Amino acid sequence: MRIEQLQAFLAVAETGSFQVAARQCQVTQSTISRQVQALEADLDAPLFHRGAQAKLTIAGERLLPKARRICQDWLQVSRDIADLMAGKQPELCVAAIQTVCAHFLPPILQQFCQDYPNVQLRVSSLGSDRSLKVLRDGLVDIAIVMQNAKLTAQPEMAVIPLYEEAVEVLVAANHPLTAYEAVPWEALSRFPHVVFKDGYGMQRLVQEQFQKCEGTLQAALELNTLDAFRGVVRQGNFVALLPKAALTECRHDPTLAVRATEAPVLRRQVVLVTTHDRLSIPPIQRFYELVQALASDFQGPAAAAVSPLALVR
């Protein structure tokens, strides 16, 4: 059963004539006849009494209201998809890690709202794993997260590197580790750490780094906000390993100290993740372009720009 067959059936039912229906549909009468005959074959029932006027059979009467509903739904979904591809979607949903929401996205959000004032922009601050889950579930259009190849391996996913940044050490101003300009990993393993909760990419990244250095991560406390990290570290002997962007305010706080780590320096890569089909939708493509333009100021040599058109192909 095809939509053209239902449209032909409706035209004949409404006009009572195959000839008039053909003119209304701007096709030949033989085309209308073939479409109705094919529909009758699919349903294994005659739909019209053929005579001077085409009148509905009992099967045709049963089909008529449902055919109208199907064609109306088809017309509406066709309009909805046309609007979507023309950039008329009602909202754009983004999930991003905290530091991106706080330090990277604000100028992008402002410019996007100016470019698309009729698109409701919704931004959620989530951990990397959670952001990728809601993207896979279709609840958001874009996720800006720490790279995790295990969670973005599906062929429909488009992963665009944005920038890399070092992970640094946050301690209280009077902490023993402030004696180091670059803190050894062995020294870091001697103190209790405040870490992000499970499901945040930073926790996994830090744990993997300690394993590589054959050290032990003393994870004493799990938190999920940067304000909480600062408050807890400020009070005692705790250590936190956080990305550079998260420590901007800490550098001006006399109660806190920031130190680099000794080699190997731990770095995280921030990526934008969406699906290939979404990149062809104008508002999403524009948001991508704004993110990519700003990311060029942060990018390390390993994070080369990627053309959205190349990704769509």
Segment 57-86 mean pLDDT: 90
For residues 48 and 114, membership in a common domain is answered with: no
> What pLDDT, in 10s, does the model give residues 38-50?
999 999 999 999 8
Domain with residue 64: its CATH number is: 1.10.10.10
For the chain, percent of residues with pLDDT exceeding 70:
95
> What pLDDT, in 10s, does the model give residues 230-284?
999 998 899 999 999 899 889 999 999 999 999 999 999 999 999 999 998 999 9
| Amino acid identity at 222 | E
Task: Write down the mean pLDDT value for the chain.
Answer: 89
What pLDDT was estimated at residue 166?
Answer: 94
What pLDDT was estimated at residue 71?
Answer: 93
Residue 76: domain span: 3-85
With 0.85 as the threshold, say if the pTM is over it: no
For residues 28 and 107, membership in a common domain is answered with: no
Q: How far apart are CA 312 and CA 6, in angstroms?
A: 34
Total domain count for the chain?
2
pLDDT band at 214 (very low <50, low <70, confident <90, very high): confident
For residues 81 and 95, membership in a common domain is answered with: no
Identify the CA nearest to 183 among candidates 261, 237, 241. 261
For residues 101 and 209, membership in a common domain is answered with: yes
For residues 272 and 138, membership in a common domain is answered with: yes
For residues 114 and 18, membership in a common domain is answered with: no
For residues 46 and 104, membership in a common domain is answered with: no
pLDDT band at 197 (very low <50, low <70, confident <90, very high): confident
Choose the final residue of a domain: 85, 108, 131: 85
For residues 48 and 173, membership in a common domain is answered with: no
